[in-house]
Chains A and B, each alone.
Chain A
Amino acid sequence: MITLKQAAEALNAQVACGEKLMGREVRMACGSDMMSDVLAYAKNKAVLLTGLLNIQVVRTADVSDIAAIVFVRDKHPETEVLLAAQNKDIPVLYTKCTMFEACGRLYALGLRGCTAKDAENR
Chain B
Amino acid sequence: MEKRYTVEVDDFERAGAASISLKELLQKLGLAPETVRRIAIGTYEGEINCLIHGGGGVVIADITPHVITVRIEDHGPGIPDVEKAMQEGWSTASEEIRAKGFGAGMGLPNMKKVSDTFRIETEVGKGTTVIMGFSCV
- Complex interface: chain B residues within 8 A of A64 (CB): 37, 40-41
Beyond A39-B41, A63-B19, A63-B40, is A56–B100 a contact (Cβ under 8 Å)? Answer: yes
Q: Which listed residue (A44, A52, A63, A65) contacts B101, Cβ 8 A? A: A52
- Complex interface: chain B residues within 8 A of A57 (CB): 101
Interface membership of B20, Cβ < 8 A: yes
Beyond A36-B106, A39-B110, A40-B106, is A56–B41 a contact (Cβ under 8 Å)? Answer: no
Number of residues from B at the complex interface, CB < 8 A: 27
Cα A39 to Cα B45 with chains together (Å): 8
Q: Would you mind naming 28 contact pairs between A and B with Cβ atoms under 8 Å apart?
A: A34-B98, A34-B101, A34-B102, A35-B101, A35-B102, A36-B101, A36-B104, A39-B107, A40-B104, A40-B109, A52-B100, A52-B101, A54-B100, A54-B101, A55-B16, A56-B16, A56-B101, A56-B102, A59-B19, A59-B20, A60-B16, A60-B101, A62-B40, A63-B37, A63-B44, A64-B40, A64-B41, A65-B37
- Contacting pair A36 B23 (CB below 8 A): no
Interface residues in chain B, defined as those with a beta carbon under 8 Å from any beta carbon in chain A: 12-13, 15-16, 19-20, 23, 33-34, 37, 40-41, 43-45, 98, 100-107, 109-110, 113
Q: Which listed residue (B33, B98, B104) contacts A65, Cβ 8 A? A: B33
Interface membership of A33, Cβ < 8 A: yes
Q: Which listed residue (A35, A39, A55, A62) contacts B23, Cβ 8 A? A: A62
Please count the residue pairs between chain A and chain B whose beta carbons lie under 8 angstroms apart in the complex. Answer: 68
Cα A13 to Cα B19 with chains together (Å): 31
- Contacting pair B20 A40 (CB below 8 A): no
Cα A62 to Cα B33 with chains together (Å): 12
Cα A57 to Cα B109 with chains together (Å): 20
Nearest CB of chain A from residue B73's CB, rounded to whole Å: 20
Chain A interface size range: 10 to 19
- Complex interface: chain B residues within 8 A of A60 (CB): 16, 44, 101
Cα A35 to Cα B43 with chains together (Å): 14
- Complex interface: chain A residues within 8 A of B13 (CB): 55
- Contacting pair A37 B106 (CB below 8 A): yes
- Complex interface: chain B residues within 8 A of A54 (CB): 100-101
Interface residues in chain A, defined as those with a beta carbon under 8 Å from any beta carbon in chain B: 33-37, 39-40, 44, 52, 54-57, 59-60, 62-65
Q: Which listed residue (B15, B23, B40, B113) contacts A56, Cβ 8 A? A: B15
Beyond A37-B106, A39-B110, is A63–B100 a contact (Cβ under 8 Å)? Answer: no
